[in-house]
Amino acid sequence: MKKALIIITGIVILTVTVFGIYKLFTGKDQDITVKKSAELYVCPMHPQIQSDHPGVCPICHMDLVIKEAGNSQKEFDSLKNKYKESGDVILSPAQQVLANVQTEKVSIKEYRNNLIFNGYIKTGENNMRHISTPVSGKIIKMYVNYEGQMVTKGQAVFEMYSPEIYSTEKEYILALQNYDNAKNSSYDLVTEQAEELIASTKTRLRLWEVTPAQIEELERTKEARDHITVYSKYSGVITKKIDHEGHWAAAGEDIYDIVDMSVLWVIANVPEADIKAIKPGQPADIKVVSYPGEVFRAKINFISPMLNPETRTLEIRLDVTNRNYRLKPDMFVKVEIGSAGYEWNIVVPGNAVIRTGKTDIVYIKKDKNVFSPVMVTIGGEQDGKYLITSGLSEGDEIVTSAGFLIDSESQIRTGTSTSILEEMEMEVKEEPEFKKDQDVMKDMKR
């Protein structure tokens, strides 16, 4: 009897032991299964993309990460529910790090009303001249042989043979001899006629640009020459050589084009919005890439009466002194037109403003993880910064980096575009709800 009891007791103990071991292992498997089934993978930049297994976001192609349902996540979800109706963008701390979101406090800064325009250098049309033949004849020698050569006033430029010059010089010599003979005459009329002949012949030579020195030499030597030397009446740079030696030229025919480059024109295009700040005689600073850090002074001497309908800009012209001929035509320049006035106002970095063409948007940080778009008014631009005249207040924390990413996220979530936000009346669509066992990526691939 005792032996049977011992056997029964052993069987019971063995059964309990086996059952306990079984429950122990099956319980762990169930926990693992529950944990695994409870895991949810989401996109850091697009939380609406959820999956029950690892993968890649179909929108931004980032790796999906496990969603942790801790206190921070509960706080993040509560923010989403709180700000869902206003069109704000909610980014978790992890998302902000991944997007490289940077912010700064808005402060009042000094803003000088300097306007900067793009321009180029041009030779002044009022400084263009021609060197031409004073009389018909043949060019027998040229002293200026190529374009770009510098010429000074009074410099010999070419020699030409002219039968008209030769015959007039012979006539002048005869008039001088006739006057010498008439001086001994007792008739005043003969003397007066001889003087008139000398004066008319001399005037003809001067009109043909025979210099006083050449006339004096003719009077002294009494020898007529069949050629003359032509001298330049201008200083400048030869921009065009028209004819060559051996050419028979008519009277008044152009041989060279010459430009005085001691003073050049600067042509700048002023946007329509800045026309009111431009006045004749206004000083300006000219900056050229070729001479970094150097400033050339200029003044506005002409404002076009016509607006360019294609570029919506107004052309202005400035005179700039070209010392040592350092400035060259067709150089690109920056024209900075200064103003004595300045103002203290809100100035933000250029990266903080999203310009859509119709509106200008800045994202401000409303809460720890909440970013809201605000429409602003730009009063000017200088050195990569914008003057904000309305829309922001001192102390606002604005996004200075990743603003375009936040704006794209806002458009994806709300289904609206910042280009049509006129009074910040943004209608936000509710985000679609996803079940934990739903594979979003598979649905999007269909």
The band of 211, judged by pLDDT with boundaries at 50, 70 and 90, is confident
pLDDT digits (tens, 9 = 90+) for 111-126: 766 788 999 999 999 9
Residue environment code for 196-215, b if the CB has 16+ CB neighbours within 10 A, otherwise e = ebbeebbebbeebbbeeebb
Mean pLDDT across 312-328: 93
Where do the H-state alpha helices sit in 84-211? 93-98, 163-182, 188-207
Contacts of 110 (CB under 8 A, 6+ apart): 342, 343, 344
Residue pair 179/276 in contact by the 8 Å Cβ criterion: no
pLDDT for 425 beyond 50: no
- pLDDT exceeding 90 applies to what percent of the chain? 29
The torsion angles phi and psi of 197, rounded to 5 degrees, stand at: -65, -40
pLDDT digits (tens, 9 = 90+) for 37-49: 457 888 877 777 8
Which residue would you say has higher pLDDT here, 319 or 367?
319
Residue bearing tokens 């000017």: 380
Contacts of 197 (CB under 8 A, 6+ apart): 175, 178, 179
Mean pLDDT across 379-389: 80
Helix (H) or strand (E) holding 229: strand 227-231
pLDDT for 182 beyond 80: no
Q: DSSP strand E in 322-435: where?
A: 332-337, 342-349, 354-355, 360-365, 370-382, 385-390, 397-401
The band of 420, judged by pLDDT with boundaries at 50, 70 and 90, is very low
Residue 373 has a pLDDT of 86
User: Highest mean pLDDT: which of 21-35, 61-75, 97-111, 157-171?
Assistant: 157-171
Residue environment code for 126-139, b if the CB has 16+ CB neighbours within 10 A, otherwise e = ebebebbbbbbbbb
- pLDDT exceeding 70 applies to what percent of the chain? 74
Of the candidates 406, 421, 311, 411, which has an alpha carbon nearest to the alpha carbon of residue 358? Answer: 421
The band of 172, judged by pLDDT with boundaries at 50, 70 and 90, is confident
Indicate yes or no: pTM above 0.85: no
Residue pair 129/258 in contact by the 8 Å Cβ criterion: yes
The band of 25, judged by pLDDT with boundaries at 50, 70 and 90, is very low
